[in-house]
Amino acid sequence: MFIDFDAMTPQQVYFTLTQTVIPRPIAWVLSENADGSLNLAPFSYFNAVSSNPPLIMMSAGLKPDGGAKDTRDNIRDRRDFVIHIPSLEQLDDMNASSASLPPGVSEVEHLGLETTAFEGSRLPRLVDPKVAFACSLYDIHYIGDDPQSLILGEVHGVFVDDSVVGEDAKGRRKILAEKINPVGRLGAGEYVSFGELLSRTRPD
């Protein structure tokens, strides 16, 4: 089967891409609202794009009503934000944080999530996720007619829970992916757990 994107609506393209670019990491993004409350939302158009400078990319579309997402506006206006990598244990809270709440209602407070001070960031981080990145806005590119906001964030540091840090055979620090147990995004309402860890030696 060949699926011709030129003959499809943007929504049909979205559903096809999200069911075929799989699995995708999820950025659970904490940002600051204009009133100082904390906004929290997941994004699965997300990945690392550069190490010098250290940049991550996330893409934010529009709300169902056609307005810009709060996360985009918060990052544009106040620049600082925190990206968490949700573990399987946080799946339900992460999914619940995608709900459309009334203006001024914090997802963090609504879900009763605990935060703590985050070294390297003006904003706090969530307590439960095992990985969190302290980020600031690097640039925003507006793509397409809708438009989609391609947000580039500079990473100033990363929190990694001690329970997921080990050493490799040469005594070097190693982040233990299986202990992070990250949840991945598939299409529609589907997610995938970490599963079996497979290793291969890269050829010379």
CA distances from 166 to 55, 119, 178, 179, 202 (A): 25, 21, 11, 10, 21
Going by C-alpha positions, the residue among 192, 189, 153, 149 that lies closest to residue 24 is: 192
* The predicted structure's pLDDT at residue 68: 80
Asked if the structure places residue 35 within a domain, the reply is yes
Q: How many CA atoms lie within 13 A of 61 on its CB side?
A: 12
CATH number of the CATH domain containing 153: 2.30.110.10
Whether 201 is in a domain gets the answer no
Is residue 7 a part of any domain in this protein? Answer: no
Domain count, the chain: 1
What pLDDT does 57 receive?
98
Amino acid identity for residue 161 in this structure: D
Query: 67 pLDDT band (50/70/90 cuts)?
Result: confident
- Domain limits for position 114: 24-191
Average pLDDT over residues 59-70: 81
Residue 172 lies in a domain: yes
Distance (Å, whole) CA 45 – CA 59: 5
97 and 112 Cβ atoms separated by less than 8 Å? no
In a domain? residue 18: no
